[in-house]
Amino acid sequence: MTSALLPTYARYDLAFEKGEGAWLTAVGGQRYLDFGGGIAVASLGYSHPHLVEALTEQAKKLWHTSNLFQIPEGERLAQRLVEKSFADFVFFTNSGAEAMELAIKMARKYQAASGHPEKYRIITFEGAFHGRTLATIAAGGNKKYLEGFGPPVDGFDQVPFGDHEALKKAIGPQTGAILIEPIQGEGGIRPVPPQCLKGLRQLCDEHGLLLVFDEVQTGVGRTGKLFAHEWAGVTPDIMAVAKGIGGGFPLGACLATKEAGKGMIAGTHGTTYGGNPLAMAVGNAVLDVVLAEGFLEHVCAMGARLRQKLGAVQERHAGIIEQVRGEGLMVGLKLVPNNGEFAAAARAEHLLVIPAGDNVVRLLPPLIIGEAEVDEAAKRLDAACARMEAALKESTGVKA
């Protein structure tokens, strides 16, 4: 079939027409268990009654006004996020990359407003992903994403993941901030150990740098805490979130302390859509559920059960799964065979998982899943492993 969509995605030959909970129904009627969650976005699953009601009620009243006017639902959502985090201020965006763009701009502006305009450089980590805008591809440093798009935006110094000496050496007179995902998502569910996040905080404090966390994928309950950095007991100065915060509605946010945001006065940044009444109604509805008593404990319990079941799958199929890693319901399977082929084998079992870097597939299910869905996913992954083993046997058989 020819498509009028710009072919930047190699899409699977699969389309869905409806969803409920963790289940998607394809055009044609087959049901799939979704452990990709639209890439960590469908945090409350599909057709969650509270979200549907919030969206439709707001849709009948008012969609958009622009940020020239007061938006009471946005004031409320920002206030709630501030109360539950390190932050004093929130700026709403429509995506993760936009939240990251502001995080980068704000870090630079902070240094400029502190009398150090030369400290515009930001240290980032190999394997990082921060979005697809010009600045965020430079921050992420993935050559595939930079190729052919002209000189990368200046101001990012990348160091190897986990190389403390390289990190210390990279701090120079122009360094203004360190940017990191508490768990690399796209990079292959690579967690940063809590003591390393603590070390980064210390390093930033020693050198007058801002610590910026990209929690676009890890935030809003994904790891069993509202924000993943809470596991390490440290706080950033600036944080970007998106994905799960809108439960499927395009919404992002940049959170900051008063000090880090001190340069961002009226006129320094803007957005036409960001934080409009429709988005704010949904964002508040998502928080209603995520902040409800017992919700994050549920995520922790389901995450523990999932990793336990996956451990058993790994034992049965050690030639397929090399490692199970992650936190809460952000889980990576490091594979021996190709991760794209494994994701296809899982799709054949009507289970959706998402390939990532480091030959990993990501499991990012809706946070509302129950034991039955966890067990079903493990069963289907077991079957996917068996498919891979059969395929490998066949291919080696052909060679011999």
- Give the footprint of ligand PLP on this chain (CB under 6 A): 95-97, 100, 129-131, 181, 185-186, 214, 216-217, 242-243
CB of 39 to ligand PLP, least distance (A): 6
3-state SS string for 15-39: CEEEEEECEEEECCCCEEEECCHHH
CB closer to ligand PLP out of 181 and 382: 181
CB of 320 to ligand PLP, least distance (A): 26
CA distance 24 to 30: 8
Q: Which tokens hold the place of 34?
A: 């979704």
CB closer to ligand PLP out of 138 and 385: 138
Residues 6+ apart with CB under 8 A from 224: 296, 297, 299, 300, 303, 327, 328, 329
CB closer to ligand PLP out of 41 and 306: 41
CB of 70 to ligand PLP, least distance (A): 26
**Residues 224 and 329: beta-carbon distance below 8 Å:** yes
CB closer to ligand PLP out of 245 and 313: 245
CB of 134 to ligand PLP, least distance (A): 13
CB of 76 to ligand PLP, least distance (A): 23
CB closer to ligand PLP out of 9 and 69: 9
CB of 100 to ligand PLP, least distance (A): 5
Q: Which of 245, 233, 169 is nearest to 201 (CA)?
A: 233
**Helices assigned H by DSSP within the chain:** 37-40, 49-61, 72-83, 96-113, 134-140, 143-146, 164-170, 194-207, 277-290, 295-316, 339-348, 371-399
CB closer to ligand PLP out of 130 and 309: 130
CA distance 211 to 188: 22
User: Other C-beta atoms within 10 Å of 348: how many?
Assistant: 12
Q: Which of 243, 334, 269 is nearest to 90 (CA)?
A: 269
CA distance 344 to 89: 43
CB closer to ligand PLP out of 96 and 277: 96
Q: Nearest-CB residue to ligand PLP? A: 96
CB of 143 to ligand PLP, least distance (A): 18
3-state SS string for 182-227: CEECCCCCEECCHHHHHHHHHHHHHHCCEEEEECCCCCCCCCCCCC
Tokens 């996956």 sit on residue? 310
CB of 242 to ligand PLP, least distance (A): 5
CB closer to ligand PLP out of 96 and 224: 96
